[in-house]
């Protein structure tokens, strides 16, 4: 199975162009409290196996964490359940670099 990936810049460009994106931030509560991508939904990685069943399987999702590792694991979990998921490479570290 090939897992899809977007860069932080690609995600930001899609948002700026007005494209509706469904972003899930899988970081912990204290990390999200420091800021997240506008419009993103927070589901901590540990809660994902339960909470993902409330999500629409026909909707494509972009997964985000701090550096891309946890969102990669989240991507594998959700892809195994039939979700269309893309990992944002570099995570919020890359995203924050985009705003400078």
Lookup result for tokens 């995203």: 95
Lookup result for tokens 């924050």: 96
CA angle 87–18–44, rounded 5-degree value:
35
Q: Which residues are catalytic?
A: 65
**Whether 75 contacts 63, CB under 8 Å:** yes
């Amino acid at each position: 199975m090939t897992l899809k990936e977007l860069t932080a810049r690609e995600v930001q460009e899609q948002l700026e162009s007005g494209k509706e994106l469904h972003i899930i931030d899988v970081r912990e509560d204290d990390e999200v409290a420091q800021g997240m991508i506008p419009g993103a939904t927070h589901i901590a990685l540990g809660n994902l196996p339960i909470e993902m069943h409330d999500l629409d399987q026909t909707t494509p999702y972009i997964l985000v964490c701090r550096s891309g590792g946890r969102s990669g694991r989240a991507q594998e979990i959700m892809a195994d359940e039939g979700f269309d998921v893309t990992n944002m490479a570099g995570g919020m570290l890359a995203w924050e670099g985009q705003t400078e």
